[in-house]
Amino acid sequence: MLADPRVEAATRRLGRTRTKAVVVDVLDACRRGEVAPEGVVEATLAALPAGSASLRPVVNATGVVVHTNLGRAPLSAAAIDALTTAAGPTDVELDLVTGRRGARGAAALAALAAAVPGAEGVHVVNNGAAALALVTCALAQRPDGPGREVVVARGEMVEIGDGFRIPDLLESVGGRLREVGTTNRVRLSDYESALGEDTAFVLKVHPSNFRVEGFTSSVSVEELAGLDASLVVDIGSGLLAPHPRLPDEPDAASCLAAGADLVTASGDKLLGGPQCGLLLGRGELVQRLRRHPFARALRVDKLTLAALEATLTGPTPPVPRALARRPADLMARARRLALAIGPDAEPVVSEGAVGGGGAPGVVLPSAAVALPSVLAEPLRIGATPVVGRVHEGRLLLDLLAVPEDLDDLLAEAVRRVLAATAPDGRTG
């Protein structure tokens, strides 16, 4: 089996260990009578992954632009090309002119600084939580004794996903929390009365994955900037400048202009880049963070730096492109797809969402192709996995996050599943 030219080609791509394991499984199935002897090679090739990793490309037809379970932001073509270049030997820390050690990731940091001119200094770590952890470690931790206080509104003590909570994160790196206000209301005077000699900084956290409505009040960045303490603003989703479709979503440029000393954010959400954490703000503070010993543990690799630079300097990435799609254009695509799929498909108005903890409650007008709900599972596990959402008894393939150049692939995937699926949803 391993000597078969087609299997041998897979071995060169995937490695002998991985290929042999599949061959053994198929031969066992043949002995059990589940695979015909003459079909073992074809069964082996079908069982081998298409790529060199177990991850499979998926068509995101959920209507959620930044889908956490699907890897959040899809990278741009420029970023993917940058990853390929960075995979080999590069000048990531070498000055080719002098032949001496150079500044690590200088081009990526320069691109980030150019994108947010109001930032005197910028730094990149491996995710958004790491950015906030580094700030707390550098500003609040003491070498001996309890850490200094981080003043934060009680209504901003958020859980960021998968059971991880901002309070636990801050305390794990030496910060002591000083909660102010109530769950729904906080005033400037609450912050003022909490400040003292033991204050490390005031933290404002954007509640990026929920909303509190009704009898509420909060304190703006501009008001907090007038306090006698450093102000750190965690905006979460990585929006660098105001966005017309997301008027209530905080952005780095506006927060810095309002007086924030530091802004922390994710680079893999609304920015549309690779997973990383962004630190922007006062030059001396950013330099202090960069030189802190803990920063080494949070350092990003050359792949992240390359993808981030290409995201910032290249063509518009997929996430901003999705946010800019017009409902009329999406409906026109839905009609064409429905015609291409056949009578089981119907173009319908739909509602999408930002996702990834960004812009909670914001509805993005969209369009979808409606299909029988029994197709949800066959499409997920098909040769071309398509993930939609079941709504009111129908499967909706929302086009908001689907690039136009995938329409033909999407239609073919649906037709293939329809041809192999009985009316009761069983695949034949």
Q: How far apart are CA 312 and CA 320, in angstroms?
A: 12
* Strand ranges of the sheet holding 346-352, from the earlier edge strand across to the other edge: 346-352, 364-372, 394-398, 389-391
Instruction: Tell how strand 364-372 and strand 121-125 pair up.
Output: unpaired
Q: How far apart are CA 199 and CA 417, in angstroms?
A: 61
Q: Single out the residue of 319, 284, 330, 336 nearest to residue 123, CA to CA.
A: 284
Q: Are 94 and 107 in contact (CB under 8 A)?
A: no
Exposure of 43 in the CB half-sphere (CA atoms within 13 A): 17
Of all helices (H) and strands (E), which one includes residue 365?
A: strand 364-372
With 60 as the cut, is the pLDDT of residue 310 above it? yes
Per-residue pLDDT tens over the stretch 51-103: 666 788 999 999 999 999 999 999 999 999 999 999 999 999 999 999 999 99
Handedness of CA 25, 29, 32, 36 (dihedral sign): negative
Ranges of beta strands (E only) in 237-359 are: 262-266, 277-281, 346-352
pLDDT score for 164: 83
Tell me whether the CATH fold assigned to 59-72+320-420 matches the one assigned to 77-315: no
For the chain, how far is it from start to end, CA to CA, in angstroms?
A: 28
Instruction: Tell how strand 394-398 and strand 389-391 pair up.
Output: antiparallel
Residues of the chain above pLDDT 70, percent: 97
Mean pLDDT of 19-48: 92
- Look over the chain and give the mean of its residue pLDDT values, rounded to a whole number: 93
In the block, residue with structure tokens 């690799």: 301
Q: How far apart are CA 410 and CA 420, in angstroms?
A: 16
Q: Are 178 and 206 in contact (CB under 8 A)?
A: no
With 80 as the cut, is the pLDDT of residue 368 above it? yes
Per-residue pLDDT tens over the stretch 125-182: 999 999 999 999 999 998 888 899 999 999 999 887 777 888 999 999 999 999 999 9
Least confident of 53-67, 112-126, 310-324: 53-67
How is the chain split into domains, by residue range?
5-47, 59-72+320-420, 77-315
Q: Are 238 and 265 in contact (CB under 8 A)?
A: yes
With 80 as the cut, is the pLDDT of residue 190 above it? yes
Model confidence band, residue 361 (pLDDT cutoffs 50, 70, 90): confident
Instruction: Give strand pairing partners of 236.
Output: 265
Q: How many CB atoms lie within 10 A of CB 187?
A: 16
Largest CA distance in the chain: 80
With 70 as the cut, is the pLDDT of residue 3 above it? yes
In the block, residue with structure tokens 């309070």: 167
388 or 145: which leads in pLDDT: 388
| Architecture of the CATH domain 77-315 | 3-Layer(aba) Sandwich (3.40)
Which two three-digit tokens encode residue 104? 């690590």
Q: Are 240 and 272 in contact (CB under 8 A)?
A: no
CATH of 59-72+320-420, one of 3.90.1150.180, 1.10.540.10, 3.30.70.260, 1.10.3720.10: 3.90.1150.180
| Residue 207 one-letter amino acid | P
pTM for the model: 0.88
Who's near 350: CB < 8 A, 6+ residues apart? 63, 366, 367, 368, 396, 398, 400
In the block, residue with structure tokens 């952005």: 251
Q: How far apart are CA 8 and CA 50, in angstroms?
A: 15
Model confidence band, residue 428 (pLDDT cutoffs 50, 70, 90): very low
Model confidence band, residue 212 (pLDDT cutoffs 50, 70, 90): confident
